[in-house]
Chains A and B, each alone.
Chain A
């Protein structure tokens, strides 16, 4: 599903985002990428989104080698992954329904299909009654659920989450994580970049720990402390 081989990203100011990282994530996995601020989590997410180009190394996602993707192929690539951000990134002028429907309009889904699928997905994330609300009328948790609904509405094989619980209270954060777990159970590969220790410890999933841009540890069913112990 995801394969990074000797990937290094050096920013223009000389700072190293990630340094010679190699890892592999198989289809259907649930993986946490953890680390403190500046450890390289966001760099990795942005590389996977192809928002950044690696300085060296090879990245393959869903069978596509990112360095070989042309500008024209980018939309197709991004349609095969759902993305959830810490700041939700919802379209402020669209309702919850329209935000989710927008992702379907992009892939040229028919109106009928949109009318059938969007309510189902909204019900799944517990937002059936908020379909007509605008983002500024929602709580943080509800906004993140909307973002999640938008990310999964086209049933992508991969879901990429960058600090999805960063702006949420602990209770709401757990609700979001349970939703992600359910999505994963249904076969979607879920990659979550986070520094939320409680969440990582409570989920007991694969944990890849980053420190100063390198992989500190990679543990199956690990915890936050497992990764950083002895580093």
Chain B
């Protein structure tokens, strides 16, 4: 498409928007409402996901080693653990290190009076690639139980809960975005259909004069894209400007929440911004394309 032709189509699209300003405004508001819900929900999901990631990061498996296992046995056990699939990192904790960790945790050295570092068991802290492989790694560890493992400490219930909630949130957010996009397309289709119907005579005249389908279609498609993009820009701006304030209000109003880290705004909007602009444009193009199709058969 040449520059001159693009300029013509763009001009026609803007003229169409202005001429049918009431319907255009209604369409923009409709798209904006749907995209606003999508944006708010996305910000929420991004934070829940962020929280779950932090939680996942904190969940590791600890293998306690029998006191009578010699140094070679410990090294051998460590090597065996490293060969287990989905294990991303294995960290050895000596008697001394375990003692220091306990000292740090309690802050009051008095309560450790008379307790020697040797009283704290040696262990391996195991990080796994993804929380979903938690049970697989546990099963593999059970096969190494005769290599000096006293017991395996883990938080299987927490892991299961985190995985379930995480999957649920992702599934709900996906479905919600899908449903809202569908609703927007239906509404925008009907809105543009009214506009197109009102311009049926105009379309017929264009066809009689020899206009191609695309010559007629382009201004309507651009009109739809403009409605979609303007309708998606508004909620992004609203969510963008409100996000930091909402976090501040939540943290001030609920002191316990202070310990929870929120996902930084730029991390959310670097994904949300192009996504909703694309979604808005897609909604607009599908909506206008669908509504003009049957009016072109003249």
A-B contact pairs, 16 of them (CB 8 A): A49-B208, A51-B298, A75-B210, A75-B215, A79-B210, A83-B208, A89-B201, A89-B205, A93-B15, A93-B19, A93-B202, A103-B209, A103-B210, A106-B209, A106-B211, A108-B5
Contacts of A93 in B (CB 8 A): 15, 19, 202
Q: Are A76 and B210 in contact (CB under 8 A)?
A: yes
A/B pair count, beta carbons within 8 Å: 46
Which parts of A30-51 form the interface with B (CB within 8 Å)?
A: 49, 51
Interface size on B, residues (CB 8 A): 19
Q: Which residue of B lies closest to A78 (CB)?
A: B210
Give the Cβ gap from B5 to chain A, nearest Cβ, in Å: 8
Query: How many angstroms from the CA of A150 to the CA of B211 in the assembled complex?
Result: 13
Which parts of A59-111 form the interface with B (CB within 8 Å)?
A: 71, 74-79, 83, 89-93, 102-103, 105-108, 111
Q: Which residue of A lies closest to B208 (CB)?
A: A83
Q: Which residue of A lies closest to B297 (CB)?
A: A71
Partner of A105, one of B8, B15, B213: B8
Contacts of B210 in A (CB 8 A): 75-79, 103, 106-107
Query: How many angstroms from the CA of A51 to the CA of B210 in the assembled complex?
Result: 12
Q: Are B208 and A91 in contact (CB under 8 A)?
A: no
Q: Which residue of A lies closest to B15 (CB)?
A: A93
Q: Are A89 and B215 in contact (CB under 8 A)?
A: no
Give the Cβ gap from B184 to chain A, nearest Cβ, in Å: 28
Q: Which residue of B lies closest to A71 (CB)?
A: B213
> Known contacts A51-B298, A105-B8: does B211 contact A89 (CB below 8 Å)?
no
Contacts of A89 in B (CB 8 A): 201, 204-205, 208
Q: Which residue of B lies closest to A151 (CB)?
A: B209
Partner of A106, one of B213, B215, B298: B215
Q: Which residue of B lies closest to A87 (CB)?
A: B201
> Known contacts A106-B210, A111-B4: does B298 contact A91 (CB below 8 Å)?
no
**B212: Cβ under 8 A from any A Cβ:** yes
Query: How many angstroms from the CA of A182 to the CA of B5 in the assembled complex?
Result: 34
Which of B4, B5, B209, B210 has most chain A Cβ within 10 Å? B209
**B170: Cβ under 8 A from any A Cβ:** no
Q: Which residue of B lies closest to A51 (CB)?
A: B298
Q: Are A75 and B211 in contact (CB under 8 A)?
A: yes
Contacts of B15 in A (CB 8 A): 93
Partner of A91, one of B5, B8, B205, B212: B205
Contacts of B201 in A (CB 8 A): 89
Give the Cβ gap from A73 to chain B, nearest Cβ, in Å: 10
**B95: Cβ under 8 A from any A Cβ:** no
**B207: Cβ under 8 A from any A Cβ:** yes
Contacts of B298 in A (CB 8 A): 51
Query: How many angstroms from the CA of A108 to the CA of B8 in the assembled complex?
Result: 11
Q: Are B208 and A78 in contact (CB under 8 A)?
A: yes
Give the Cβ gap from B233 to chain A, nearest Cβ, in Å: 27
Query: How many angstroms from the CA of A91 to the CA of B199 in the assembled complex?
Result: 10
Query: How many angstroms from the CA of A181 to the CA of B206 in the assembled complex?
Result: 26
